[in-house]
Structure 1
Amino acid sequence: MIIKNKFPKGFWWGSATSGPQSEGRFNKIHDNVFDYWFDREPEIFFNKVGPNIASNFYNSYKEDLNMLKEIGLNSFRTSIQWTRLIKDFETGEPDEDGIRFYDEVIDECIKNNIIPVMNLHHFDLPVELYDKYGGWESKHVVELFKKFAGTAFRLFGDRVKYWATFNEPIVVVEGQYLYKFHYPQIVDGKKAVQVLFNLNLASAKAIEEYRRQDLDGKIGIILNLTPSYPRDPENKEDVEASKFADNFFNNSFLNPAVKGEFPKELVEILEKDKVLWEATEKEMEIIKNNTIDFLGVNYYQPRRAKMREIPFNNEEGWMPDKYFENYEMPGRRMNPYRGWEIYPECMYDISINIKENYNNIPWFISENGMGVEGEERYVNEEGIIEDDYRIEFFKEHLEYLYEGIKEGSNCFGFHSWTPIDCWSWCNAYKNRYGFISLDLETQKKTIKKSGKWICEVSKNNGF
């Protein structure tokens, strides 16, 4: 076999999930915002399937991690749930069962020669902190997050060498405060901007705490980068619109994380519009002095932007949409199940952007994947899902990533979303992403064709 795309030595071939999407609510002492929302409005969730069982990782982590080893994965990202690990939010005191569970998961990863990558926040704010303080609107919650992070580092930092503070923090801003797809479904641009700042501050404070404990690992953040392409690259207004979208949705977290400062043009616009966050000089210093060691990039789709053609309605308050409109490019390739454009070329563009504009920081693809509905249509006689479409999707994306690496971009790994079909917020199990399928009725897990494919890729460090 000729390996055309040979990746760097020690490259991560892995997969990502999260605590709230895989563990189930077994023995969990607090509810997060999604637990609370599901208990009250189950009909919002696809087929009324909630997070109660998810993929049962709390009970089956040994078998599950064994399957990850079987498909050749050498690294695995999940998250530590604030609502599972911490008994007392105000003091950061941990819960015994939470400690036991995460201890065992980490030890099991190491036993299987799988590098554990632990993330601290995956959209799963404790609902109690929302009710009491307004969640991420509150600087006090930022302090409590730092305490939670400190407890996690102290308990597990001897074995976990790769940490992430947040997964896709911009989605908290979008989902909770702008576009109503996460609880509590508020539309408030000014609050959204303050939350955006507070999340950046929380990440920096967690990094500061990690370094204070003087542990010998690395700490980063996981950002979903959705690069903006102007409808017409020759049209100045389209270019400006796409630049604003890039600054708001990507660089508002990427710049502080890597460079310790917010994009200047974005700050000027927010100031002019009187929606800029409240921040002290000391807080700005904390963000400046606590940048990341590595970056995780979740990439699924690009954004296409154009200048506003329909005047923005100011009566509804400030929204980022004031400065752009989304553009549907004719002839674009689509994943019809998710409604997302398929554009693998973006992998190369992200690689070069990080190389040229972000100090060529060490980074990895922390999520990439294709969600498909009704995969049972593709089951063969042996009961295996033949998901050739997923293999093709990964191959195309990896080829463009490889081109970026060849040109010197400092990428050290690729994680798919997700190892085992997992629960996906309001979509529940509508779209499946895993290398391993999950039967919801029986909880039986079966390796798909793509799982066998990734095993070969990992073995050969390329394809």
Structure 2
Amino acid sequence: MREDFLWGGASAANQYEGGYQEGGRGLSINDVEQGASHGQSRIIHDCIDEKCYYPSHQATDFYHHYQEDIALLAEMGFRCYRMSICWSRIYPHGDDEIPNEEGLQFYDRVFDELLKYEIEPIVTLHHFEMPLALVKKYGGWRNRKMIDLSVRYAKTVMERYQNKVKYWITFNEINSLFIAEVPWHQAGIIYQEGENKTDVMFQAAHYQLVASAKTIIEGRKINSQFQFGNMILYNCCYAMTCHPLDQMMLHDKLLPIYYFSDVQIRGKYTNTCFSYQKRMNAHFDIEEGDLEILRNGVIDFYSFSYYSSLVEGREIEQSADGNLLDGGKNPYLETTQWGWQIDPLGLRISLNLIYDRYQIPLFVSENGLGAVDEFKNNTVYDNYRIDYLRQHIQALIAAIEEDFIDCFGYTMWSPIDIISAGTGEMKKRYGFVYVDYDDLGQGSGQRYKKQSFSWYQKVVQTNGKEI
């Protein structure tokens, strides 16, 4: 492993930060999502109903615990931390004339704390949240106005933190816009009765791709040393059989992944993109100058989330779940408590497929195990989490050392417990650190190290030699 390999963890503001009414912050789209129980989706409200519980309001309260939490990351030896900035903390309504200085100062303190421990911040600009006011005023990413507003926000934070942050990711899991049944997190969109969902989806995708490219163009003017990445929800998938039709179905399953990364890396809509547009019978507007922006705003590295794999084919008898995905069950794999198939070798396969296609540096930006943890004796004995991560890190190391894949970092999801994006529950826990909150946000908020804490500490300290 390269000596400067970036070991760390990742989280998102809307699942972790809290402090939703503090420091001049405006409402985000997550702030009107009521909590739900296991297997159900959160209910999206038009405004806040005081009788309902909204998990994102408190989340696990990084806003008030950031010094303590970052100290825990440092104790594990983190070399990097992938986090997101809450847009509505910087521009409360998204289109305000001036940014919110209190919000900017909060992230100044966070970055200063990280750098005090020599932890490299890796910042996602858009991680499944946006100011609620932009949905009400413009319809979210349906509207081209979102391009300039998002770029203005990005320029504000890039200028402010240009001496503190080197790595920037534009949109989290940008291709999930094509996967989500209701792309509320991805684009602030709830499809309206009678509208062409496909056209709305492709138009929003185009606006986000232009915004991403334009952000990169503007960012390089601010600091030529900035490094920009995309972030893809990667779907490792296998054909059910060797039948040619199953193989073709596998090919089709991968098109929404390649659609976005082709544009962000090659700077244009490729044959793969045109093929997918035709298959979906999609129509959307491209204005003069858009294609030049896409051409000039390509990324420097490819980052992606990897949790599980699926099977695709004509005759799927049993289904399996995944990160916003569904597909066939693989009889050779075990599953998590949430029905996600555990496939460490799939990570190595994915790294090879991605690198063979694009030949640019890779970064594993999310990988982890959600499980119900039993809190006992002020800790959690989570050997199941250690086993999952150990096998995936072994696959990662094999891809780097044996397959010669250029991968410069790994951030597991999420080092400190956070709320679920899908349901808002706490019981689906990922962290090395247990946070004392329940599904209704009740508890002390106190942090406790799990058994996996010291295990990952050793992995980082030995640069992956002891796992």
TM-score, normalising length from structure 1?
A: 0.87
Q: Give the letter for the 1:152 counterpart.
A: V
2:59 aligned counterpart, secondary structure: coil
Counterpart contact for 1:13–1:415, Cα < 8 Å: yes
Q: 2:26 corresponds to which residue? A: 30
Q: Deviation at 1:362?
A: 1.3
1:18-76 CA-to-partner distances (Å, cap 9, x unmatched) read 111111014153111111233999x9649945111111111111111011111221110
Structure 1 equivalent of residue 306 of structure 2: 299
Deviation at 1:85, TM superposition (A): 1.0
More helix per residue: 1
Alignment match, 2:346: 346
Deviation at 1:416, TM superposition (A): 0.5
Q: Which amino acid aligns with 1:15?
A: G
Q: 1:176 to 1:148 in 2, by over 3 A?
A: farther
The match for 1:443 among 419, 442, 445 is 445
Deviation at 1:262, TM superposition (A): 3.3
Structure 2 CA distance, aligned partners of 1:294 and 1:23?
27
Deviation at 1:422, TM superposition (A): 0.6
The structure-2 alpha-carbon separation of the partners of 1:35 and 1:73, relative to structure 1 and needing over 3 Å to count, comes to: same
Residue identity in the other structure for 2:172: N
* Separation in 1, partners of 2:383, 2:353: 30
Residue 138 of structure 1 is matched in structure 2 by 143
Q: Which residue matches 1:326?
A: 327
Contact 2:434 2:448 in 1 (8 A): yes
Structure 2 counterpart of 1:367, which letter? Answer: E
- Cα distance in 2, alignment partners of residues 22 and 280 from structure 1: 38
User: CA shift at 1:179, angstroms?
Assistant: 10
Matched to 2:371, the amino acid is V
Q: Alignment partner of 2:453: what SS?
A: helix
Task: Give yes or no for contact 1:220–1:293 (8 Å, CA) kept in 2.
Answer: yes
Residue by residue over 1:217-264, the C-alpha shift from the partner in whole angstroms, topping out at 9 and shown as x without a partner, is: 2111222211222111x222111111111011x112221122223341
| Distance (whole Å) between structure 2 residues aligned to residue 96 and residue 367 of structure 1 | 31
Question: Which shifted more, 183-192 or 113-122?
Answer: 183-192
The aligned counterpart of 1:313 is none
Report how many aligned residue pairs link the two structures. 435
Give the distance between the partners of 1:362 and 1:164, measured in 2 at CA: 14
The secondary structure found in structure 1 opposite 2:60 is coil
2:238 corresponding residue in structure 1: 229
1:19 maps to which residue? 13
Match of 2:429 among 424, 432, 436: 432
CA contact (8 A) 2:310 2:329 kept: no
Question: What corresponds to 1:119 in structure 2?
Answer: 124
Query: Within 5 Å, which residues of 2 pair with 1:145-294?
Result: 145-175=150-180, 177=182, 185-186=190-191, 188-232=197-241, 234-248=242-256, 250-271=257-278, 273-294=280-301
Counterpart-to-counterpart distance in 2, 1:76 and 1:325: 29
Q: Equivalents in 2 of 1:227, 1:69: separation in Å?
A: 32
Q: Which amino acid aligns with 1:445?
A: R
**If the length of structure 2 is used for normalisation, what is the TM-score?**
0.87
Q: Which runs of 5+ in 2 are unaligned?
A: 44-51, 318-324, 438-442
1:457 counterpart (423, 435, 459): 459
What residue is the counterpart of 1:376 in the other structure?
Answer: 374
1:421 counterpart (417, 420, 429): 417
Deviation of 1:330 (Å): 3.0
Task: Tell me the CA shift for residue 88 of structure 1.
Answer: 5.7
> What letter matches 2:313 in structure 1?
K
1:317 aligned partner: none
Q: 2: CA distance between counterparts of 1:367 and 1:439?
A: 23
Residue equivalent to 2:362: 363
